[in-house]
Each structure stands twice: as C-alpha cells, then as structure tokens.
Amino acid sequence: MQVKGHVVTADKTYWLEHAWLATHVEPGVAVAVSGDGRIAGLRTGVDAPPPGAEILRGLTLPGLANAHSHAFHRALRGTVQVGSGTFWTWRDVMYKVAQNLTPERYFELARAVYAEMALAGITNVGEFHYVHHAPGGAPYADPNAMGEALIEAAAAAGIRITLLDTAYLSAGFGEAPNPHQLRFCDGTAEAWAERVSALKPREHALIGAAIHSVRAVPAAQLATVAAWAQERRAPLHVHLSEQTAENEACRAAHGRTPTQLLADHGVLGPATTGVHNTHLTDADIALLGATTTGTCMCPTTERDLADGIGPATRLQQAGSPLSLGSDSHAVIDLLEEARAMELNERLRSRTRGHWTANALLTAATADGHAALGRPDAGRLEAGAPADFTTIALDSVRTAGPLPRLGAETAVFAASAADVRHTVVGGRHIVRDGAHTLVPDVPSALSEAIAALRA
C-alpha cells in the first residue's frame, strides 16, 4: 500500500472506486479530509471502503475549474440561437438582458447558474464581472452590490469563485460608452481601482481583475489595472483578439496588435490570462508564450458565436498554459470544452491526438485553478483543497471501456449529465446527481430567467 501525505486525524474519509491522479487512473483510493476542508492524506490500493467512509463509485477527478464565466449570459441560452447573425448582433441581445439585472435578480440567477455548474462537476468559477452599476450608470448605495451578489451566490451554490472585477471604460478606441455600457463603466481606471479595492476576499472567494478588452480600456489606462493586480498578486484576465474587427480597429488606432499593445503597457505575464486568443499573429503567439501569459479557450462559445478556432496547440508549445471556460453558457460542460478543444484542432489540421486525455483534464483542473489564483487546487494530493467530482462509468455514454481508460472515457464520451458527486472543501454539494443546497435547479433557473423578461 502506498501512502501519500502526512498522517493526521481525518475529519472525514472518502473512498474513491477509481481516481484520476493526473497521470493515470488508480482503483481503490481512500482520501482523508481534515477539518479545514483539505486533503489530509491519500492511500492507494484500498480495495474496499474503510468503515464509515463515504463511497464515490465511478471515476473521481479533481474539481473542475471554469476559468471564464459571464453568469447572466445563461439567460441568453436558446434565445440567441434563433436565426443567424454575428457576434455583434448577439451582443445587442446581451445588452437587453443586462439592462434588466438588479442585485437581487443577479443573485437569484447566479445562484442557479453556479448550482448548474456544481451539477457539472465545477468547483471553482472565474466570474468575468462587468455589470457594476444601475441602468444609466449611477452607482448603487453599495458600489459593489452586483459583485457582492455574485460572491454570495457562489456561497449559496456551494462553489468557490474568483471575482474578476472588470474595467470597462469605453465603447471602442476613442469612443464614449454607449447607453447600454454605462452600467459597466466607472469613468476611469483610477475610479475602477478605488471601487474594486473595497471588495474583500473570503474563504470561498478571491478578488481578481480583468480588462474587458483593448477596445474597452483606453491604452493610457491599461497600466493602472495591471498595477492594481500586480500589487495584490491577483489574477488578471482580458478578452484578447476574439474578433478580427477588434484587431483591425486596434491596428488603425495604435499601429499594433492587441497583444503587442497589452505588452507595451505591462499587462502580460504569468498572472495574466488572455481569454479566446483566437486571431493572433506569429509574433503575438511568441510574445504570449515568452511571458507565460495564459490562454483560456472557450470552444462552445467560440463556435456558437462563429468566432473561429484559436491556435491552442501553438500557444501551449510557445509556453502559454491552457485553461477552459464556458463563457456565455451556451452549454455548461467542462468535459465538452476539453473535448471540443481537441476536436476543433483535428478538424483544422486533419490530424488526431494533439492532446492526451490527461493533458485535457489538466487544463480543466490544475491549470484552470492556477489561472484563477488557486495554484494549490485541482489535484488529488495531500494539502490540496478537498474539491473533487465523480463521473459515472456505467451510464449509456460511459459504459464499456475499461476503468483504466477512465480519463479517455471522461473526455471523449462523458458529459455533465454523468456527474454523480461534487465535493467542495470536503462537503458534499452534489450527491447522487442532486444538488444538496439548491433542491430544484431547473426551476431556479427558469424563475430567475423569467424575472429578466418581465
């Protein structure tokens, strides 16, 4: 029997029928959880459940990290799939939904969305949050009421959150915010920094920063946002080169690509993640890799919006760590995001096997958590948070393969519907496919979304 971790008194023990340990699937693993919600020790070769252990049958993975979310976009599902259009026509629909948000409505919607994420095995979400103020742009009595609603919603749904409070100051290069965008705007980066500095981290929540895009933050103010994040060692995210129109506008305004503009103002670096990174030059890819700036791919949104296929393989080879996000929540399924990243690349290159299943699961777990400021998470090992999720190996999608091929089964056959258990901080949040804190997630989603149509 192999023993990992220190010998301590366990507050709780889980017995994992099969566990993915980053490089392989191991049968019969006992995980001891300490009172602080961390993994106290891990034993392999445990053929039967120890007395009193909670039994997780199937394949247990570290909790999944959704590195890019806009919670209110969940209200767009189905609606924006009617007819045709572009990213820009989709954005017009999004603005209408954003106008109907209040702190109370946003709490209810986000609670339901984060519960849906827990049902999909997600234990940590990076919320790219930019709806800060009341319609028309007036601050709420608590200027962070909307961000606080998201933090509390994550707690109510039982998952962790990194609130990536977003600077959004203009409609485009040299353009004032349009009426829809006044809710997003603090006026200046300095005013943004003053407001966001009042947000405080808590056990389940970290506070990070985001630059919405190079079109939404004037070049002269990029460094202010970057400095705020660097001083606090906080993660910094940015939508980067999602649309060719943005690249062309940036070149027209500044004579350089968005990636080069960010580099010139100190935004790139190992604590920074570019979201999408779709339309990049060779020089952009080299620059992102050389600075170890991360890349968050959101394949289900990128294909839904017809954005294009980003150069994920080349980015990773250059040195950019990969993470995954569900972004607009056309679906919430990190296994599908992992699968889509590989399959998109197969379609483009007409070759197979760009990433192993282990590599794709690493992007969905350890590297995703690191991008959200939790480098200790996303692993089944002593000292890590006791955050994990269990996928059924006996559903109509997953039955048949040998258990030792569990990683391949999870990535290339399973879906969010196969998640049976989700544990966060040692606490069962999803048990046997049912959320323990939000009893009826579909109804909660339906009611919250209906309130935005009123």
The amino acid present at 446, given as its one-letter code, is S
Taking alpha carbons only, the member of 270, 277, 317 closest to residue 296 is: 277
d(CA 427, CA 126): 21
d(CA 212, CA 237): 8
d(CA 386, CA 39): 5
For 295, the 3-state DSSP assignment is strand
Angle, CA of 438, 443 and 444, to the nearest 5°: 50
Segment (H or E) for 152? helix 145-157
Q: Are 110 and 71 in contact (CB under 8 A)?
A: yes
Q: Report DSSP state, residue 138.
A: P
Q: Are 405 and 67 in contact (CB under 8 A)?
A: no
Token match 């569990």: residue?
406
From the number of C-beta atoms within 10 Å of its C-beta (0-12, 13-18, 19+), residue 402 rates as: exposed
Please enumerate in sequence order all residues whose Cβ is within 8 A of that of 443, keeping only pairs 6 or more positions apart, or say none.
none
Choice among 284, 304, 327, 387 that is catalytic: 327
d(CA 33, CA 395): 28
Q: Are 71 and 114 in contact (CB under 8 A)?
A: yes
Main-chain phi, psi angles of 188, to 5 degrees = -140, 160
For 91, the 3-state DSSP assignment is helix
Choice among 70, 73, 237, 276 that is catalytic: 276
Distance between start and end Cα atoms, the chain: 60
**Is residue 327 among the annotated active site residues?**
yes
For β-strands 427-431 and 419-424, DSSP reports them as: antiparallel
Q: Are 143 and 102 in contact (CB under 8 A)?
A: no
Angle, CA of 366, 372 and 139, to the nearest 5°: 160
**Is residue 237 among the annotated active site residues?**
no
Can you give the C-alpha Rg of the chain in angstroms? 21
By annotation, the residues acting in catalysis are 276, 327
